[in-house]
Chain A
Amino acid sequence: MAIRNLALMLVSGTLLLAQAPVKVGFVYVSPIGDAGYTYQHDLGRKAMETKLKGKVTTQIVENVEEGADAERVIRSLATDGCKMIFTTSFGYMNPTAKVAATFPNVEFFHATGYKSGKNMATYNGRFYEGRYLNGIIAGKMTKTHIAGFVGAFPIPEVMMAIDAFTQGMRSVDPKAEVHVVWVNSWFDPGKEREATMSLISQGADMITQHTDSTVVVQTVEEQHKAKNVWCFSYNSDMSKYAPTSQLSGDITDWSNYYTTTVENVLAGKGVGPNVWDGLKDGMIKIAPFNAAVPKEVRDHVNKVMADMKAGKVHAFQGPVLAQDGTVKVPKGQVMSDKDLGGINYYVQGVVGNVPKG
């Protein structure tokens, strides 16, 4: 009798627990805005929340500066009862690891980093796949054979993007050159604008960015008629800021990842493996083609995309040569994830040298 009551209590107790919505925390490095890196994360969060309606509630803190203060914010989400916390910027890596060590019952997920642990996993997107495809479009449509890239910091993620874009462009236009300007910030509209203008002044007619504001595409849109320049957006589809000049873009869609990950934790599967998803998992997409993109180009890109999803084509398939001529990936092979994660060189076709400071 007592055992039956106990069992009833346990069952109803777990049912109650299962029914109380689980708190999921998100830490953003910049304001959400309406385009850009954080905006895409927030779209993913919203999609997850809709799909798992009733089972989770989310708590977000935006514009949290990387540095010593981030630890306090992350910790406060944990003490607030969040069972999962997603920290979306590289600079949160050490603070996340520290808090994870203090809260073994909370699962932590860190984006774009490299430290993980028992209750901490990393996640990242294969942005370079979308870059390769954008590069093909650029190579097919450029008139000057020069592309311009506005970069933030010379870290592997950005180098991968530049190199993949270059590989894609040169796969259809062996004469193509990519010029790079570093603005040393993820978000600095003034500098991004000046960088764009300086690239245009060098003759680049295909411009893209690995920074976070909409100014690059807006500047290209402004100069589009006079200079016949086109752009590719990053993270978000920015065509509403550049309706005539955006040819395509490299879009990140975190919704599948967030939904699946949260479901897994709810099902008791724990923090799971480190995730690095791309085209085939639906995390990376390209923005809709501009009307100006001819059918022949669209078909080519779609074919390559299908091949990439099937694993037949890789953005860094051999031969891949560094700027100085060394063979990084011989013909017939494909760059390993490990090597990808440490790219700190330009491939052939990129003009200029990687900044030392």
Chain B
Amino acid sequence: MWLKFEQRPEPSSLMRYLSPLIAVGLMLLSGMLLFYVLGKSPVAGFKIFFLNPIKDGYGISELLLKATPLMLCALGLSVGFRANVWNIGAEGQLLIGALAAGGVALAFPETHSPLLLPGMIAAGAVGGMLWAAIPAWLRTRFNANEILTSLMLVYVAQLMVSWLAHGPWKDPEGFNFPQTKMFQANAMLPVLVTGNRVNAALFLAIGALILGWVFMNRSFMGYQMKVAGQAENAGRYAGFSAKRAIWMGMLVGGGMAGIAGMSEVAGPIGQITEHISPGYGFAAMIVAFVGRLSPIGIFFASLLLALLYVGGEQVQQYLGLPSAISNVFQGMLLFFLLASDVFINFRLRRMARRQ
């Protein structure tokens, strides 16, 4: 008796929706097993990890705050992933966007102009796009694999942030600590509910999601990119060049990541330091996959991943488990998703004899 994968005559749309849910379910089960193995009550673990973070208004606002950069980055990435453009460098683009926006804020420390914040958002987007343009250009002009170039640029971006925070942009009154001055009040994104930290960037993210949905599902270019991603020749037939797909994919990804970077430094951080992002650019890739590369899915997936982050902190505080448990859950989630995704295109059949 032998089990074999057999391709389905057409992809199962039921599985397409079910698969992320199955993955989440498997992750929860494994998580509870993990708690049990570690000698903690699975129920307590589940409560502290998944329910504690959302037990009050502050908790929900923190969840939204954490989900915002994930939403922005993942949306940008999804445009590229659909077209088979693999931007692994979102983390670096986020940082450069943060630097660009921060640079604008630091250049105009006294201004009351209402153009400051929009200017910072634009600067963040442009910064991220410029950083993403490098791998895009290297790919279209020199055929250099964008996975590797964008990844290397992440390290370069991190070093740039370090250099600026330690050097030219260091706050002269900051006792030589590697950080810039705090941004002035007009350079900070307005908070939505006083006492909480979730800010206007959330609207940016939701707005972007809506725009993204319209683009992917209602615009011709979105259609072209989807087709180009699935079959390059068919895409060209639809009038879309591979080069354009690469540029689009990378630039949108970079721009969104740059805005995410801006939202962090003009939001909860309020300055440029060496701790701008705890790996949002990488987590966003998981969000994009779990969200099935669709704006609605990304919305829910970012909330889920934000919950994993905050839940990990709670478990660290109350159960004494290392906060790295967040990464363990994230990894498990992605693996389970990739595994259950198989069943969209394939099904298991029993064979009488080995073939």
Contact = CB atoms under 8 A, between A and B. Distances in A.
A binds B: yes
Interface of A: 59, 61-63, 65-69, 71-73, 75-77, 79, 90-91, 94, 102, 114, 153-156, 159, 184, 341-342, 344, 355-357
A355 B166 contact: yes
Interface stretch (B127-135, B146-154, B315-323): B315-323
Contacts, number: 71
Given A67-B278, A356-B167, A155 B269 contact: no
A357 B275 contact: no
Interface in B30-48: none
B268 interface: yes
B62 interface: yes
B341 interface: no
A67 B322 contact: no
Contact of A155 (B167, B168, B175, B322): B175
A69 B316 contact: no
A341 B174 CA distance: 11
A72 B310 contact: yes
Interface string B127-165: 000000000000000000000000000000000001100
Contact of B178 (A63, A75, A153): A153
A344 B166 CA distance: 12
Given A66-B275, A91-B275, A184-B162, A71 B175 contact: no
30 contacts: A61-B317, A63-B323, A65-B275, A66-B273, A66-B275, A67-B269, A67-B275, A67-B276, A67-B278, A69-B278, A69-B309, A71-B268, A72-B62, A72-B310, A72-B313, A75-B58, A76-B313, A90-B177, A91-B275, A94-B182, A154-B166, A154-B176, A155-B178, A184-B166, A342-B175, A342-B176, A344-B176, A356-B167, A357-B162, A357-B167
A175 B276 CA distance: 44
B195 interface: yes
B270 interface: yes
A14 to B, nearest CB: 30
A68 B268 contact: yes
Contacts of A159: 176
B97 to A, nearest CB: 16
Nearest to B264: A68
Contacts of B197: 71
A42 to B, nearest CB: 13
Contacts of A342: 175-176
Given A67-B273, A357-B162, 15 more contacts: A59-B317, A67-B275, A68-B269, A68-B275, A71-B268, A73-B317, A76-B314, A79-B58, A91-B275, A102-B195, A154-B166, A155-B176, A156-B176, A341-B175, A357-B163
B313 A69 contact: yes
Interface in B333-349: none
Contacts of B62: 72
Nearest to A25: B317
A40 B271 CA distance: 30
Nearest to A354: B176
Contact of A114 (B166, B168, B175, B182): B175
A65 B278 contact: yes
Interface in B232-285: 264, 267-271, 273, 275-276, 278
B166 A153 contact: yes
A155 B177 contact: yes
Nearest to A91: B275
Give the one of B314, B316, B317, B323 with max A CB within 10 A.
Answer: B317
B91 to A, nearest CB: 14
Contacts of B316: 61-63
B221 to A, nearest CB: 35
Contacts of B276: 67
Contacts of B271: 94
A71 B176 CA distance: 22
A189 B314 CA distance: 29
B32 to A, nearest CB: 23
Contacts of B323: 63
Nearest to B160: A357
Contacts of B58: 75, 79
A76 B316 CA distance: 12
A357 B314 CA distance: 36
A69 B197 CA distance: 11
Contacts of A71: 197, 268
Contact of A94 (B163, B264, B270): B270
Contacts of B175: 114, 155-156, 341-342
A169 B166 CA distance: 29
Contacts of A77: 317
B331 to A, nearest CB: 19
CB-based closest 3 A-B pairs: A67-B275, A357-B167, A68-B268
Contacts of A72: 62, 310, 313
A341 B173 CA distance: 11
Contacts of B278: 65, 67, 69
A355 B176 CA distance: 12
B317 A91 contact: no
Contacts of B270: 94
Nearest to B166: A357
A356 B264 CA distance: 26
A155 B178 CA distance: 8
B299 to A, nearest CB: 21
Contacts of B166: 153-154, 184, 355-357
A121 to B, nearest CB: 17
Give the one of B168, B177, B197, B270 with max A CB within 10 A.
Answer: B177
A91 B273 CA distance: 9
Nearest to B159: A357
Give the one of B176, B178, B313, B314 with max A CB within 10 A.
Answer: B176
Contacts of B195: 102
Contact of A76 (B182, B268, B275, B317): B317
B277 to A, nearest CB: 9
Give the one of B58, B268, B270, B309 with max A CB within 10 A.
Answer: B268
